[in-house]
Each structure stands twice: as structure tokens, then as C-alpha cells.
Chain A
Amino acid sequence: MSALTLTLKNAPEQRIDMSALSCHLLKTLSITDIAALTLQSGKRKLRVDELFTIEGSDSQQLVIKNSHEKLDFIGKDLDGGSISVEGDAGAYLAMGMKAGDIKVSGNVGLYAACEMKKGYLEISGNAGDFLGAALPGNKMGMKGGTILVKGDVGQRAGDHMRRGNILIEGNAGDYCGSRMTAGTIAVMGQTGRYLGYAMRRGTLLLWNQPQLSASFNDCGAHTLAFLPILFASFRSLNTKFADVAQSFNRVQRYAGDMSEMGRGEVLVKL
């Protein structure tokens, strides 16, 4: 069976809610049924076959071609299967994802992988604000799984993050790791202001010295035994993080945010 391929016919005028096209929801549907599904677009509901040309039949391997930044909620609550997005994706990509994997070749919008529970998300371009964060008003962001971003990410990446890994090959915006409860965010590029703002626990692993708030205290230089194990876990990924030359176990450790619980840490490569 070949992958179910949806090719966007035209750039949409209104934003489109793609949540009905998550693999687990398509398991029992025929291609005719899928074509007849309706997607919310502005105040209208549009049939899938009105928006996309449909090829292939394996709904557990979904390919979205010619994708556009107005396609929101791709892979929402995904519970198995894989989605490959060729082009950009809109907001709320992989929101609440439970299992499976999603790969995006372009850029993605706000709140990607917000409240993600498990699975793997790979973004080849840039990601917007609130990557892996909690939805507004909620207290628990990403709870598991791995996010890999090859480009840059916006502000508040990992806001309220609880567990899992966010790997950023590029730069991170302001407030990276804000209000983190646990988990790991690794940034190879530069980080913005207010890094780890109000973080309670968790690890921010950095390749470059950040601009730290006064509420982070220097704990000195250390060789940490868990780092080789952490880096080894990235080896299977298609990323610079998998490169042995990029791994290290010697870091400068800063504890914070002391204005909060202070059990978090910023580890900077030495």
C-alpha cells in the first residue's frame, strides 16, 4: 500500500483545521470517506477532496504535499502512524500528540507540539513561539517524546514543559524554558533573554554561553555522567545532535531559577 498523499490544490484563503486528518481517525475510513470529510475553514466547511488531490491508500502513512502555513492542527492528538508534511505547517502542529511521528520540511507556526505526550516531531525549518508549551491557561506543557528543530525557534519554547526532549539546532528566542517543571531543552545556537525564567526543575543544555538572569547561580565546572547517555540516545536521529563530535560531558552548571524552586539547571558546554 502506498502512502495516502494529499496535495493542496491552492493556497487557502482562510486557515484550515486539519485535526480530522490525524492517522488514528482515518484507520477505519475508506478513501471515499476520507474525501468526503469536511474541514473547518473560516466559517465554511470544505470537503477534503475540494482542497486536496488524493492519491495512495495507506492512511497510517499520510503525506501532505504543497503544504501551507494556514494548515493548522496537523497531527492533532496523533495516536500512531506517521505524517510527512512537505512545505510549511500552521499553528498547533502535533498538539497533544500521543504516539507516532511527524516530519515537516518547512517552517511551522505557533504552539507546535503543545501539550505533546509522546512520539517524535521533526521540523526542518523554523518553529514559532510556544514550541512544546502548554495552551494558554493550562499548567502542563509537553509531557514526553522528542521534538527536533533544525532551524530557529520563537519565544517561550518549552513553557511549562513537564518531560521529554526539545532539540534545537538553531537559535532559541526569549524566555526559552520558561516555567519548566522538568525535561530537557538542548540549544546549539544562541539563546535569547530571560532564559529559564521561573523554571522549577529541568535541564537547559547549551552550546553557547547565555545571557543569564541574576536568579541563576553558578555551581562551577563539572563532568556529568548522564550526558554521554543522553547524547547516545540522540544517535538514531537525523540531526547534528547525533554527531559524536558535538557531544560533551564537561559543563558549567548554573542552578535556577532561584526566584522559583531553584532545582532547574543550565548546563553550558565548556
Chain B
Amino acid sequence: MIINGVSIDATFAEAFPMKATRAIITAQNEKWAMISAQAMTGFATSVIACGCEGAIERVLDPSETPDGRPGVAVMFFAMGGKGLAKQLETRAGQCVLTSPTSALFAGIDGGIRIPLGKNLRYFGDGFQISKLISGKRYWRIPVMDGEFLAEATTGQVDGIGGGNFLVLAESQPQALLACEAAIEEMRKIPNVIMPFPGGVVRSGSKVGSKYKTLGASTNDAFCPTLKGATRSDLSPEIESVMEIVIDGLTKEDIDKAMRVGIQAVCDLGAENGIKRISAGNYGGKLGPFHFHLQEIMA
């Protein structure tokens, strides 16, 4: 399959079941909601070492938030429910509770309930106040700038992590430009996040390493400087490869995000140095979710 001179590999991205949740951060203005959201989703690029994968899903209009203030929706994905709950709580405690004027609300109504402000309330040292409004429990925690309002719980649901595609280009600036174009379109799709810095990862990994202590190491088959030194998957004109990883609530959400992302890359086309789109997989034996590039773009 070739779109605008870009070759789409007959391969697939392999993804795994994860546990997912969403929270809504509001603040006096969008600037401070965003600061709080950025802090909360910091160091959450990969479950390999961060404990969870998290990112800003989108900016919310005041009409969409529970307290009518500007807000930001953030999503987190982890391999298990326990780990997800722990990550959510510590991040909420250190990054949102501490952030001026912030309030924190559930972003998913259904699912298994996991603590959001439920345990943060103890920071109130006995001065915290509970309010049960329309069946939802909120905690009012006195803090130095006024009151921190946090919904007690949010929903944990099944999600999918590890959807991905690789952009193979003739130069590093061209690969980055294409990925930026893809991320801009993909951020318009609800229920997905791209957890790596700016949504793009330049250090895609393979499973295993020559070093016994490491579970993952550089994806040498896609490293352009190793074209002559390893069993490379790259043709001579490829000088840079970047990857976009997608976590989403459903397969359809990831399908949609991959489609718009790959399309944005292909729109730049071969004339802008984009040669191929590929994807990372483990032979289909590890992850139950397969995203076939050519099927998605058909």
C-alpha cells in the first residue's frame, strides 16, 4: 500500500490490555489547570519505569467541567488496577492538591471506583468536610489558598496500551515535522493519549537485552546508525525513525487515532522525505490487540 508516495508496511502494532482512568482538573484559569495537569502527567511516559502512562487528553471548556471553571482532562493507564490507583493518588496528592486554585473531579462515571480525593482528605487533619451532592461524594480540604475540592473517587475501566506506528524519514527534521503533524490531529480524538514527550518517542524499544538485568533495550533494527552493523529493517535512504505510541479506552478509539495520525504523515508525503510507515510488534504472540496498518488505512 502506498499513500502519497509513503509506503505502508503490511504489518501491525501489537497492544496489550491495561487499566485506565480519567480525572478532570479545574482551576481559576486555563493556565493553572494546565500547569497542574502537566505536573500530574509528568514522568508518565511508559510503564517500563514510570509506574503508569499518562498524558493530557484535552482542554475542557468551562461548560464541560463540574464547577464551571476552565479545566483539563488527564488520562492514566497501568498494567493493573492496584498500580493505577496508587499512581493516581500519589500524583493527585503531590501535583494537584499542591497546585494553586485547583479542584479535582472524576472523569469516568462508571467502572470500578478508585480513590481520587478519598484518602487525600486526611491532609485536612480533621478539618476536612464531606459533601454528598447528587450521589457523588466530594471532599473539601482546607488549604492555604482556600479550599481544595476533590471528588472522592473516579472510575477505572479496561483500556488498551501500546498502539503505535513508526515514521521512517529521510532526515531527523522531516521525521519530527511529520510526527508533530500527526500528534496535532490525534489530539482531536477523544479517549486516547500519546504518553511520550510531545506525543513522540525517538527511542523505541525491543523486548530483552544482552544485559540480563534489562527487560527492554534499543530497537536496533530501526536505528539508522546501525544499518551496517545489525540486522536492519531500514533501507539506505532512511536516516531517522520516530514512533508514536497510543493508549486508548477501546480498540476503535486507537484505530481512529492511528488513522488520522498516519493520514497526517502521509499528507506530507514522499516529497517531504517521508518514506515508510511501520509498526512495532512482538510477532503477535504477546498482545491480544493487533492494529494492522493497511486495514486501518484501507
Please report A residues at the B interface, Cβ cutoff 8 Å: 144, 163, 182, 184, 201, 203, 222-226, 228-230, 232-233, 263, 265
Contact indicator A229/B147 (Cβ below 8 Å): no
CA distance A252 to B140 in the complex (A): 16
Contact indicator B146/A229 (Cβ below 8 Å): no
Contact indicator A184/B103 (Cβ below 8 Å): no
What residues of chain B lie closer than 8 Å to A223, measured between beta carbons? Answer: 146
Contact indicator B133/A224 (Cβ below 8 Å): no
What residues of chain B lie closer than 8 Å to A201, measured between beta carbons? Answer: 129
**Main DSSP-derived SS at the B contact region:** strand
Contact indicator B103/A225 (Cβ below 8 Å): yes
* Interface assignment of B138: CB less than 8 Å from any CB of chain A: yes
Contact indicator A265/B129 (Cβ below 8 Å): yes
CA distance A203 to B146 in the complex (A): 17
Contact indicator A226/B140 (Cβ below 8 Å): yes
Given contacts A222-B147, A225-B147, A225-B149, contact A230 B131 (CB under 8 A): yes
Please name 23 pairs of A and B residues whose Cβ atoms are closer than 8 Å in the assembled complex, sorted by A: A144-B132, A163-B132, A182-B130, A184-B131, A201-B129, A203-B131, A223-B146, A224-B140, A225-B103, A225-B146, A226-B131, A226-B147, A228-B67, A228-B68, A229-B66, A229-B67, A229-B138, A230-B131, A232-B66, A233-B133, A233-B134, A263-B126, A265-B129
Contact indicator A230/B147 (Cβ below 8 Å): no
* Interface assignment of B127: CB less than 8 Å from any CB of chain A: yes
CA distance A263 to B129 in the complex (A): 8
CA distance A182 to B103 in the complex (A): 22
> Which residues B109-157 have CB closer than 8 A to chain A?
126-127, 129-134, 138, 140, 146-147, 149
Please report B residues at the A interface, Cβ cutoff 8 Å: 66-68, 103, 126-127, 129-134, 138, 140, 146-147, 149
Q: Give the residue name and chain of the A residue nearest to B131 (CB).
A: A226
CA distance A184 to B131 in the complex (A): 8
Contact indicator A229/B129 (Cβ below 8 Å): no
What residues of chain A lie closer than 8 Å to B67, measured between beta carbons? Answer: 225, 228-229
Q: Give chain B nearest CB distance to A267 CB in angstroms.
A: 11
CA distance A230 to B129 in the complex (A): 14
Given contacts A203-B131, A228-B68, A229-B133, could you give 9 more A-B pairs where the C-beta distance is less than 8 Å?
A: A203-B129, A223-B146, A224-B146, A224-B147, A225-B67, A225-B140, A226-B131, A229-B66, A263-B129
Contact indicator B68/A222 (Cβ below 8 Å): no
Q: Give chain B nearest CB distance to A87 CB in angstroms.
A: 31
CA distance A230 to B66 in the complex (A): 10
CA distance A201 to B130 in the complex (A): 10
CA distance A137 to B127 in the complex (A): 29
CA distance A163 to B149 in the complex (A): 19
What residues of chain B lie closer than 8 Å to A229, measured between beta carbons? Answer: 66-67, 133, 138, 149
CA distance A117 to B12 in the complex (A): 55
Which of B68, B127, B132, B133 lies in contact with A263, CB distance below 8 A?
B127
Q: Give chain B nearest CB distance to A155 CB in angstroms.
A: 26
Q: Give the residue name and chain of the B residue nearest to A265 (CB).
A: B129
* Most chain B C-beta atoms within 10 Å of own C-beta, residue among A144, A226, A232, A233: A226
| The 6 A-B residue pairs with the shortest CB-CB distance in the complex, in nearest-first order | A225-B149, A233-B134, A233-B133, A225-B103, A226-B149, A228-B67
CA distance A232 to B67 in the complex (A): 9
CA distance A222 to B149 in the complex (A): 14
CA distance A229 to B140 in the complex (A): 12
Contact indicator B146/A222 (Cβ below 8 Å): yes
Q: Give chain B nearest CB distance to A186 CB in angstroms.
A: 12
Q: Give the residue name and chain of the A residue nearest to B138 (CB).
A: A226
Q: Give the residue name and chain of the A residue nearest to B132 (CB).
A: A163
CA distance A223 to B103 in the complex (A): 13
Q: Give chain A nearest CB distance to B27 CB in angstroms.
A: 10
Q: Give the residue name and chain of the A residue nearest to B66 (CB).
A: A229
Which of B68, B130, B133 lies in contact with A230, CB distance below 8 A?
B133
What residues of chain A lie closer than 8 Å to B146, measured between beta carbons? Answer: 222-225
CA distance A106 to B134 in the complex (A): 27
CA distance A215 to B194 in the complex (A): 55
CA distance A263 to B121 in the complex (A): 15
